Chain A
Amino acid sequence: MSLKRKILELKKRREQVLLGGGEKAIEKQVAMGKMTARDRVLAILDKDSFHEWDLFVEHDARDFDMDKKVLHGDGVIIGTGTVYGAPICIYAQDFTVAGGSLGYMHARKITKIMDHAMKLRVPIIGINDSGGARIQEGVNSLAGYGEIFFRNTQASGVIPQISVILGPCAGGAVYSPALTDFVFMVDNISKMFITGPEVIKTVLGEDISMEDLGGARVHSEITGNAHFFATSEKECFDQIKKLITFIPWNNARKALPFPPKKPKSKFKIDAIIPSDAKQPYDIRDVVRAVVDDSDFFEIQEYWAANIVIGFGRLNGETVGFICNQPMVLAGVLDVDSSDKAARFIRYCDSFSIPIVTLVDLPGYLPGVDQEHAGVIRHGAKMLYAYSEATIPKITLILRKAYGGGYIAMGSRHLRADFVYAWPGAEIAVMGPDGAANIIFKKEIAEAEDPEKMRKLKVKEYKEKFANPYVAAAKGYIDTVIEPNETRNVLLHAIEVSKDKTVYTPNKKHGIPPF
């Protein structure tokens, strides 16, 4: 055979395999409103940058007539490419090939590209669209999942790991996304659950649709398993690409800087906050008034919305923001918001992203449900994460910081490097109303007009304690600043803390309240 003929043969083989499960299966995939695995990979990566591996891998299962079946690429596409020039390893499960089911070789392909990503120290993107374990391959498929989970854990905090759920992801398979840094989901397409609606119906008699059990909305709003929600695959891919621009390739690098840009003039920082501490506002407007180009990239927007987390840039450098949101549940801390913030702090700490904390909270959410859900354990995660983090930590108290919430929100005591406060900041054990009721209980009860006395005492307490100067007098706050100075002091803080070095006690690892 001449080389020419051999090349022709390669082309023919390629053509066959590139069709995945064949035209009929592709038609079915498209009819479900889904893109094919290959189109997804190509849509995420820069044009012509995808280099595929293991195109000709085949399974070697023999039981249940599997030896008669050809599964192209064994139902998964792997390879390398770039996103806006950043190197990426990627895999995409191909639902058109045996329902994207995970067999031994399928898993071997995934772990191969994961190992590669770890060796090259580049981010990995995994697209999940699979019916689950390939039952015919028995324990070999389970072993495959286990190998993936182990690698997810090893890679955690070393390279960014991104999971994209674009189809079903059920049973044990869900634990790979759960172990990764960011999970993307698309409305009506993504589904994630441990036990599906059918099992729930048979065993428990409860009737629920896939969408209501584990759709994108559920995981974005109720469970917090998803970090990004999109209404189309295209929107989802744009979110992924944008995220890539904010994060470094690995934990030994910094995120690539962008050309600095001023915030847009329509966000006027001194006009956002109502003077009455009981009135709400959207904290994200404050972030937008501060960050470059007013571009704030929010994470987990719909879950535990009483705390806001996300990335922005200050003078071109990526910064992680953690902010109480007075617009939702008055910005209280609770089980979910503590979990959300704590994990994000650890992400930023792993990848050398400085943290800016904006504080305006009345304390913790009261309620039996919170106490019984373990708000003590969950709330402690935040204290742990802030204390443990060694990246530059900058805290700004805008309006109120009461009680345990004051300590938890990146206070000096948990080793914030810079603590600023606006002149209207109230730092106290609790709000003036509650405090006056306790301290002046006797005076109020014995007064001729208790209500009048109560108001008087609340005012007295406000004047004495509800300001930033008591904390500033002790050095817990470094500087009281005007709102207009906010961006400048943050830029300065980031600039001077580039080489921050912290010595931590030598240990294998701590025991955070997981």
Chain B
Amino acid sequence: MEHKASLKSLTVEGTKYRTLFTKKFENRKIWEEPDDRKIQAYIPGTILKVYVQPGQQVKAGEDLIILEAMKMKNHISIPFDAKIKNINVIEGQSIAKDFCLLELE
């Protein structure tokens, strides 16, 4: 595991150390600030139904999409009033976790 060439720098409390990284550390997920205008899939699954269209005005509590995952039909509804900007999925599409389903204006 020791290869001088693969040494990298890690800063801890203002000091830079020369060291190797682990695979897990290199593959860690970089945190992103949540964006209210992007509706992401909280679980991987299949899009069963899309109720809305781009440009449509939706009211709080309205269903946007049914996402089937773990044999359950998950109703994805909106907690506030908004206008749909884009829809990134079609019915029948399989999507991964965190896939951006639709964007709001």
On A, residues with C-beta under 8 Å from B are 203-206, 221-222, 278-280, 282, 304-306, 326-332, 336, 362-369, 372, 402-403, 430-434, 437
Contacts and interface: CB of A to CB of B under 8 A. Distances in A.
24 contacts: A205-B46, A206-B44, A278-B15, A280-B7, A280-B20, A305-B22, A306-B22, A326-B17, A327-B20, A328-B1, A328-B19, A328-B21, A329-B19, A330-B10, A330-B17, A330-B19, A362-B12, A362-B13, A365-B12, A366-B12, A368-B30, A432-B15, A434-B13, A437-B14
A206 B15 contact: no
Contacts of A332: 10, 12
Interface in B28-84: 28-31, 43-46, 69-71
A67 B45 CA distance: 42
A278 B18 contact: yes
Interface-centre pick from A329, A368, A431 (highest chain B CB count, 10 A): A329
A305 B13 CA distance: 21
Contact of A329 (B22, B29, B96): B22
A62 to B, nearest CB: 32
Nearest to B12: A362
B12 A369 contact: no
Contacts of B13: 362-363, 366, 402-403, 430-431, 433-434
A381 to B, nearest CB: 18
Contacts of B17: 278, 280, 326, 330, 362
A366 B11 CA distance: 9
Given A206-B44, A305-B1, A328 B29 contact: no
Nearest to B46: A205
Contacts of B20: 280, 327-329
A221 B14 CA distance: 29
Interface size class of B (residues with CB under 8 A): 20 to 34
Given A206-B44, A363-B13, A279 B96 contact: no
The 10 closest A-B pairs by CB, nearest first: A434-B14, A330-B17, A368-B31, A434-B13, A431-B15, A362-B12, A205-B94, A433-B14, A330-B19, A430-B13
Contacts of A331: 19
Given A205-B94, A402-B13, A431-B13, A372 B31 contact: yes
A203 B71 contact: yes
A280 B19 contact: yes
Nearest to A326: B19
Contacts of B71: 203
Contact of B21 (A326, A329, A430, A431): A329
A332 B24 CA distance: 14
Contacts of A205: 44-46, 94-96
Nearest to A305: B22
B19 A327 contact: yes
Nearest to B94: A205
Contacts of A402: 13
B20 to A, nearest CB: 5
B66 to A, nearest CB: 16
A336 B16 contact: no
B84 to A, nearest CB: 25
Counting chain A CB atoms within 10 Å of each CB, which of B17, B30, B43 scores highest? B17
Contacts of A306: 22
A350 B77 CA distance: 52
A328 B10 CA distance: 10
Contact of B28 (A206, A363, A364, A367): A367
A327 B21 CA distance: 9
Nearest to A434: B14
B83 to A, nearest CB: 30
A437 B11 CA distance: 14
Given A328-B20, A332-B12, 13 more contacts: A204-B44, A280-B7, A306-B22, A327-B2, A327-B19, A329-B10, A329-B19, A330-B17, A365-B12, A366-B11, A368-B30, A431-B13, A433-B13
Given A204-B45, A362-B17, A434-B14, A369 B69 contact: no
A434 B14 CA distance: 5
A380 B34 CA distance: 29
B22 A282 contact: no
A221 B10 CA distance: 21
Nearest to B32: A368
Given A280-B19, A306-B22, A369-B31, A330 B69 contact: no
B69 A280 contact: no
Contacts of A364: 12
A221 B23 contact: yes
B28 to A, nearest CB: 5
B14 A430 contact: yes
A205 B44 CA distance: 7
Chain A CB within 10 Å — which of B7, B24, B71, B96 has the most? B24
A326 B18 CA distance: 9
A390 B46 CA distance: 54
A336 B24 contact: yes
Given A205-B46, A328-B22, A369 B28 contact: yes
A306 B20 CA distance: 9
B24 A222 contact: yes
A325 to B, nearest CB: 9
B16 A278 contact: yes
A205 B45 CA distance: 7
Contacts of B43: 204
A282 B19 CA distance: 10
